[in-house]
C-alpha cells in the first residue's frame, strides 16, 4: 500500500491519454553533492493546472514527477497505521499546525526516538497528488542545512502524508507576527540571522541545483525554526524547475500566496528565480516592520505591506517609520538602512533590476555577523526583556568593527540603484 512506485503507476493511469507522449526526463542534480544517475532521474509531464494546488500545471519543464522502480529515494515509506500510532491516532493534543493543505502533527519514531512532524494532506484541500509527488522528489534529491529534511512519506490508498524533521520553535510567523501579550519580540540581529539563513536556502536552490529550482512559496509560515532559531525552508509542493538553456522563464498558472507573489508573475504567469527574490523581499520587509504582507485589519491603503512601504523607500529620513515598534529603537541605524535598501531592491517592479539571491546573501552577511554573540530569547509566553536587551547591547558594541563591511554593502546597494536609474532613463 505504501509503495511509491505503485502510487506513481496509479497516478499515471489516471492521466488522460492525450498527454501520454508528452513526458520528458528532467534531472535535478546537486553540484556540491553529485548523486548517481538513478538518483537524478525525474520524469516530467507538461499538463496545465487550474489555480488550485490540486490542479495540473503547464510549462516547458516538469511538474508531475514519477520515480522509476530503479530510482533510489532516501526517504522512508510508512504505512498509515504506523503514522496513526506515532501521532496517537491524529489526536488534537498532537496537532502542531494547520493550513489549506491539511494538518501537521507531532510524533516520535519508535525505533530511533526521533521527533517528527507528520503532515496529513487534506484529500479535498489545496495540495494535490502532483504536489505531493513533487515535494517527495524535491526533498529527496535536494539537501542543504537550510532546507527541511524529509524523513519519509505515506501513500496508503487515498491517504497522502509527509514526515519531516521536527522544528521545535515552529514558524517565523509564530515569533514575528501578531505576538501574544507578554511574548518578547525577536531582537534585531536574530531577525537578520533568520533573513540570512532563508536567503542561503534560496541561494542553494537557485545556484547549486542544476537546473535551478524556483521555490515559489516563500512566506513567513514556511520558514521553520529550531530552538536556536536556525532556519529551514519547508513546503516544496509548488517548487518548479527553472528555465534552462536559452529560455528566460517558465510559463505556469499563477500559484502561491497573495501578497508574496511577484507582480510580473501575477500578470503573465512567467516564472523566474527573480520571482523568489521578490517573495524574499516581502519576508525581509516583514522582519523589519513586524507587519504582515497582507493585513486586513488596517486601513485599505495600508493593508498591503509593500504598497505601504514603497513611498517610504524613497526618503531615508523616514526609514525609522519602517522599524518594528516592538523593537523600541533597539537596532543599529545603519543596519536598518541597509536592510531596507536590500528589501527595496528585491521588491523592484522590474524583475531584471532585482539582485540575484547570491548578492542578497553577501549583503545580509554583513548585517547578521553580530548574531554569533546573541543569546536567543526564550520562546515562552512569559515576558523576557532582559536577554533581548542585553544581547542587542552586545551586538551594538560590535557595530564599529563592522563599519567597513557595512560600507561595502552600502556601496553595493548604491551601485545597484544607479544601475536601475540608468536603465529607467533609457
- CATH number, domain containing residue 65: 3.30.200.20
d(CA 337, CA 320): 8
- Residue of 217, 235, 330, 359 with catalytic role: 217
List, as residue ranges, the binding site for ATP.
119
The 3 state secondary structure assigned to the chain is CCCHHHHHHHHHHHCCHHHHHHCEECCCEECCCCCCHHHHCCEECCCCCCCCCCCCCCCCCCCCCECCCCCCCCCEECCHHHHHHHCCCCCHHHEEEEECCEEEEEEECCCCCCEEEEEEECCCCCCCHHHHHHHHHHHHHCCCCCECCEEEEECCCCCCEEEEECCCCCEHHHHHCCCCCCCCCCCHHHHHHHHHHHHHHHHHHHHHEECCEECCCCCHHHEEECCCCCEEECCCCCCEECCCCCCCCEECCCCCCCCCCCHHHHHHCEECHHHHHHHHHHHHHHHHHCCCCECCCCCHHHCEHHHHHHHHHCCHHHHHHHCCHHHCCCCCHHHHHHHHHHHHHHCCCCHHHCCCHHHHHHHHHHHCCCHHHCCCCCCCCCCCHHHHHHHHHHHHHCCHHHHHHHHHHHHHHHHHHHHHHHHHHC
Q: State the cell numbers at 34.
A: 553529485
353 or 31: whose pLDDT is higher? 353
- 21 and 100 in a common domain: yes
Beta strand 150-154 with 76-77 is parallel
pLDDT at residue 416 is higher than 80: no
Q: State the cell numbers at 48.
A: 496545465
| Residue 258 within a domain | yes
- 191 and 151 in a common domain: no
- CATH number, domain containing residue 340: 1.10.510.10
Query: Could you give the angle at the alpha carbon of 278 between the alpha carbons of 226 and 175, nearest 5°?
Result: 30
- 74 and 214 in a common domain: no
List, as residue ranges, the binding site.
119
| Residue 278 within a domain | yes
d(CA 272, CA 280): 13
- 177 and 116 in a common domain: no
User: Is 235 a catalytic site residue?
Assistant: no
- 384 and 337 in a common domain: yes
- 198 and 117 in a common domain: no
**Which whole number is the average pLDDT over 154-160?**
88
- 76 and 23 in a common domain: yes
The last residue of a domain, from among 165, 180, 201 = 165
- 206 and 149 in a common domain: no
Q: What is the pLDDT of residue 316?
A: 93
The last residue of a domain, from among 142, 165, 188 = 165
- 237 and 151 in a common domain: no
Q: What is the pLDDT of residue 243?
A: 73
pLDDT digits (tens, 9 = 90+) for 41-82: 333 333 333 333 333 343 333 333 333 333 445 678 999 999
pLDDT digits (tens, 9 = 90+) for 298-323: 998 899 999 999 999 999 999 999 99
pLDDT digits (tens, 9 = 90+) for 35-51: 443 333 333 333 333 33
- 199 and 102 in a common domain: no
CB atoms within 10 A of CB 245: 7
Range of the structural domain that residue 52 is part of: 14-165
pLDDT at residue 178 is higher than 70: yes
d(CA 225, CA 170): 6
Location of C-alpha cell 522582519: 287
pLDDT at residue 350 is higher than 80: yes
Check: CB of residue 357 under 8 Å from CB of residue 200: no
pLDDT at residue 271 is higher than 50: yes
| Residue 6 within a domain | no
Q: Which of 10-14, 139-143, 166-170, 317-321 has the lowest mean pLDDT?
A: 10-14
| Residue 4 within a domain | no
Q: State the pTM of this model.
A: 0.70
Q: How many domains does the chain have?
A: 2
The last residue of a domain, from among 119, 146, 165 = 165
Q: Smallest Cα–Cα separation from 204: which of 261, 151, 138?
A: 138
- 211 and 159 in a common domain: no
- 160 and 34 in a common domain: yes
| Residue 84 within a domain | yes
pLDDT at residue 338 is higher than 50: yes
CB atoms within 10 A of CB 211: 18
Amino acid at each position: 500500500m505504501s509503495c511509491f512506485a505503485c502510487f506513481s503507476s496509479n497516478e499515471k493511469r489516471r492521466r488522460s491519454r492525450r498527454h501520454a507522449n508528452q513526458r520528458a526526463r528532467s534531472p535535478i542534480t546537486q553540484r556540491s553533492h553529485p548523486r548517481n544517475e538513478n538518483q537524478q532521474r525525474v520524469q516530467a509531464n507538461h499538463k496545465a493546472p487550474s489555480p488550485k494546488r490540486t490542479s495540473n500545471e503547464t510549462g516547458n519543464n516538469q511538474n508531475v514527477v514519477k520515480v522509476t522502480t530503479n530510482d533510489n529515494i532516501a526517504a522512508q515509506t510508512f504505512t498509515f497505521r504506523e503514522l496513526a500510532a506515532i501521532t496517537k491516532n491524529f489526536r488534537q493534543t498532537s496537532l502542531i499546525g494547520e493550513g489549506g493543505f491539511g494538518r501537521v502533527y507531532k510524533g516520535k519514531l519508535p525505533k530511533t526516538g526521533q521527533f517528527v512532524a507528520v503532515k496529513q494532506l487534506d484529500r479535498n484541500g489545496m495540495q494535490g497528488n502532483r504536489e505531493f509527488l513533487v515535494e517527495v522528489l524535491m526533498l529527496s534529491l535536494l539537501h542543504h542545512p537550510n532546507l527541511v529534511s524529509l524523513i519519509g512519506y505515506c501513500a496508503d490508498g487515498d491517504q497522502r502524508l509527509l514526515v519531516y524533521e521536527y522544528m521545535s520553535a515552529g514558524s517565523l510567523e509564530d515569533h514575528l507576527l501578531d505576538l501574544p501579550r507578554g511574548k518578547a519580540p525577536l531582537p534585531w540581529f536574530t531577525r537578520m540571522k533568520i533573513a540570512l539563513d532563508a536567503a542561503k536556502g534560496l541561494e542553494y536552490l537557485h545556484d547549486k541545483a542544476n537546473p535551478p529550482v524556483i521555490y515559489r512559496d516563500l512566506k513567513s509560515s514556511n520558514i521553520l525554526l529550531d530552538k536556536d532559531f536556525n532556519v529551514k525552508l519547508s513546503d516544496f509542493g509548488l517548487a518548479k524547475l527553472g528555465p534552462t538553456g536559452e529560455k528566460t522563464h517558465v510559463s505556469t498558472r499563477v500559484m502561491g500566496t497573495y501578497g508574496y507573489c511577484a507582480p510580473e508573475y501575477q500578470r503573465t504567469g512567467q516564472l523566474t528565480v527573480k520571482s523568489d527574490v521578490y517573495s524574499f523581499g516581502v519576508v525581509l520587509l516583514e522582519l523589519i516592520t513586524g507587519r504582515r504582507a497582507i493585513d486586513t485589519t488596517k486601513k485599505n491603503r495600508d493593508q498591503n505591506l509593500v504598497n505601504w512601504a514603497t513611498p517610504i523607500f524613497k526618503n531615508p529620513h523616514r526609514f525609522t517609520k519602517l522599524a518594528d515598534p516592538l523593537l523600541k529603537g533597539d537596532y543599529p541605524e545603519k543596519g536598518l538602512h541597509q536592510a531596507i535598501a536590500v528589501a527595496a531592491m528585491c521588491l523592484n517592479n522590474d524583475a531584471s533590476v532585482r539582485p540575484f539571491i547570491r548578492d542578497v546573501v553577501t549583503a545580509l552577511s554583513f548585517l547578521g555577523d553580530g548574531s554569533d554573540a546573541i543569546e536567543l530569547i526564550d520562546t515562552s509566553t512569559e515576558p523576557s526583556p532582559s536577554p533581548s536587551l542585553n544581547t542587542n547591547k552586545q551586538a551594538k558594541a560590535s557595530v564599529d568593527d563592522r563599519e567597513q563591511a557595512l560600507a561595502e554593502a552600502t556601496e553595493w546597494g548604491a551601485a545597484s540603484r544607479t544601475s536601475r536609474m540608468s536603465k529607467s532613463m533609457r
